[in-house]
């Protein structure tokens, strides 16, 4: 017993000198978002941020309250390096005052509420940040905290799947959807009428250009290079509208691509219409867009898809952030007044939708949701905010229902005439 006591007396002072095993979260610097210019960040292959003009924004979901110590892993700083200015506050709430520091220890911050928080790091004089490897978080608030530490900085892709009554699933000739974008950050694709062989929607390509895109996949399983696709598997162009560019696409499957540069405006409602006509063992798919100012349907393109011969299946809409540089931006769009018309001429309202998302939305980016607003389905992703109480999740079935008896399809008289097949 005396021996045991003497050993404890010797060991306990040593244990007291060991560092505490407090929670730690290391966030690679390249996972931050540059502001105000999302393209103003350069990195090495090892993940080091060589330079960022402006500020870096990091987003962390805190499951507990408490204290938060924020530190940088960075190259050694000289005595004349500018001071850091750091702020930590719930995302979407008014900004807190900056805490300044001349060292890589950026300060200790109180986390008073759970949920998503923004950590903003900049130089006090707004000069570029340089040679940053990681943001390191410690303290009681870090327990079970979550942040994106993956290469992919895109917001999760989110989808609406429209079930068609079983007796009509192989009989859809026309597919109609209206789209109302509520936000329009760069590198957003709001896709209206998607099906098993293609997709049709609207895109924000740059500060100066917006597009309407209609594309159809080739047959076969070539994933990247359309030059490798055999002639009997290739989609061919039947017709295209005025000023529409038509060509190839790859790297996400391959196929025929078409787009029209069109300066669509935020907040308006846009109408998309897909037609399908079996042609032997192929199907001819045509996409029209309603030009409201001219009160007419305009053909974007018509493609002949080989090794098909059936009508559209797997009908869906989606919202996509196709460049991760601004994956923290909020993307929200309404989809509604969706209908299909059978080959026999019956219009069927699509008043149910299933919400799904990609793998990024499963574990990395839970800032995604779907809901119903009035008589429209809503898709939201990005923004690092908590879904509202009315939202649905994929994990809980993700089914949405619209109010009955709302909306109407195009009249049969206004439907455009599909182009004839080229032979």
55-96 per-position pLDDT tens digit: 999 999 999 999 999 999 998 888 889 999 999 999 999 999
Parts of the chain with a pLDDT under 70: 1-21, 394-397, 421-423
Task: Check whether residue 397 and residue 288 sit in a common domain.
Answer: yes
For residue 201, tell me if it sits in a domain.
Answer: yes
pTM of the model: 0.90
Query: Within 10 A of 51 (CB to CB), how many other CB atoms are there?
Result: 14
Whether 316 and 182 map to the same domain: the answer is yes
Q: For the chain, report the end-to-end CA distance as a whole number of angstroms.
A: 100
What pLDDT score was predicted for residue 15? 44
Stated as kind and residue range, the H or E segment containing 44 is none
Q: Provide the CATH number for the domain around residue 342.
A: 2.60.120
Residue 28 lies in a domain: yes
Query: Do 137 and 164 fall within a single domain?
Result: no
Residues 104 and 129 in one domain: yes
Note whether 367 and 245 are same-domain residues.
yes
Whether residue 152 is contained in a domain is answered as no
**Are residues 227 and 169 both part of a single domain?**
yes
| Domain membership of residue 88 as a residue range | 19-142
Instruction: Check which CATH number belongs to the domain holding 41 and give it.
Output: 2.60.120.260
Q: How far apart are CA 277 and CA 197, in angstroms?
A: 13
- Whether the CB-CB separation of 379 and 370 falls below 8 Å is answered with yes
Domain boundary among 83, 110, 142: 142
Tell me if 314 is assigned to some domain.
yes
Residue range 295-311, pLDDT digits in tens: 999 999 999 999 999 99
169 and 116 together in one domain: no
Whether residue 321 is contained in a domain is answered as yes
31 & 75 share domain: yes
pLDDT given for residue 232 in this prediction: 96
The verdict on residue 261 lying in a domain is: yes
Using the 3D structure, point to which of 142, 173, 200 is the last residue of a domain.
Answer: 142
Percent of the chain whose predicted confidence (pLDDT) is above 70:
93
Concatenating the DSSP letter of every residue in 138-188 gives: ESGGGTT-B---SS--SPPPEEEE----GGGTT-EEEEEEEEEES---SSE
Do residues 182 and 99 both lie within one domain?
Answer: no
Task: Assess whether 30 and 91 both reside in one domain.
Answer: yes
Pull the structure tokens for residue 183: 């936000």
Query: In this structure, is residue 241 part of a structural domain?
Result: yes
130 and 167 belong to one structural domain: no
Domain end (from 81, 108, 142): 142
Displacement of CA 221 from its chain's centroid (Å): 25
**Domain annotation covers residue 123:** yes
Give how many domains the chain has, as a whole number.
2
190 in the same domain as 316: yes
């Amino acid at each position: 017993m005396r021996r045991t006591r003497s050993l404890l007396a010797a060991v306990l002072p040593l244990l007291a000198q060991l560092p505490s095993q407090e929670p730690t979260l290391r966030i690679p610097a390249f996972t931050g978002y540059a502001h105000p210019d999302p393209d103003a960040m350069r990195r090495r292959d090892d993940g080091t941020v060589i330079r960022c003009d402006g500020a870096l924004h990091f987003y962390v979901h805190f499951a507990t309250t408490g204290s938060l110590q924020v530190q940088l892993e960075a190259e050694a700083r000289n005595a004349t390096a500018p001071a850091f200015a750091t702020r930590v506050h719930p995302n979407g709430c008014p900004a807190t005052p900056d805490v300044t520091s001349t060292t890589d220890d950026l300060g200790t911050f109180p986390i008073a509420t759970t949920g998503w928080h923004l950590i903003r790091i900049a130089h006090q004089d707004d000069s570029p940040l340089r040679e940053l490897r990681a943001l390191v978080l410690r303290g009681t608030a870090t327990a079970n905290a979550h942040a994106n530490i993956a290469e992919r900085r895109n917001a999760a892709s989110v989808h609406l799947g429209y079930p068609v009554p079983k007796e009509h699933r192989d009989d859809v000739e026309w597919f109609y959807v209206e789209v109302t974008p509520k936000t329009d950050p760069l590198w957003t694709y709001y896709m209206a009428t998607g099906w098993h062989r293609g997709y049709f929607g609207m895109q924000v390509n740059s500060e100066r250009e917006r597009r309407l895109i209609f594309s159809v996949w080739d047959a076969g399983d070539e994933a990247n290079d359309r030059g490798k696709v055999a002639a009997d598997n290739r989609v061919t162009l039947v017709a295209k509208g005025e000023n529409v560019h038509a060509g190839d696409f790859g790297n996400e499957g391959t196929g025929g691509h078409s787009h029209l540069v069109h300066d669509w405006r935020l907040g308006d409602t846009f109408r998309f219409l897909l037609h399908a006509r079996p042609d032997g063992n192929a199907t001819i798919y045509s996409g029209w867009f309603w030009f409201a100012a001219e009160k007419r349907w305009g053909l974007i393109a018509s493609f002949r898809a080989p090794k098909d011969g059936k009508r559209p299946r797997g009908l869906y809409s989606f919202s996509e952030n196709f460049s991760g540089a601004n994956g923290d931006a909020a993307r929200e769009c309404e989809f509604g007044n969706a209908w299909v018309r059978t080959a026999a001429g019956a219009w069927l309202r699509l008043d149910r939708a299933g919400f799904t998302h990609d793998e990024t939305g499963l574990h990395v980016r839970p800032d995604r949701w779907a809901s119903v607003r009035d008589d429209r389905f809503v898709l939201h992703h990005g923004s690092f905010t908590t879904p509202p109480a009315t939202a649905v999740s994929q994990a809980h079935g993700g089914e949405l229902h619209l109010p009955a008896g709302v909306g109407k399809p195009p009249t049969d008289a206004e439907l455009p005439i599909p182009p004839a097949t080229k032979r």
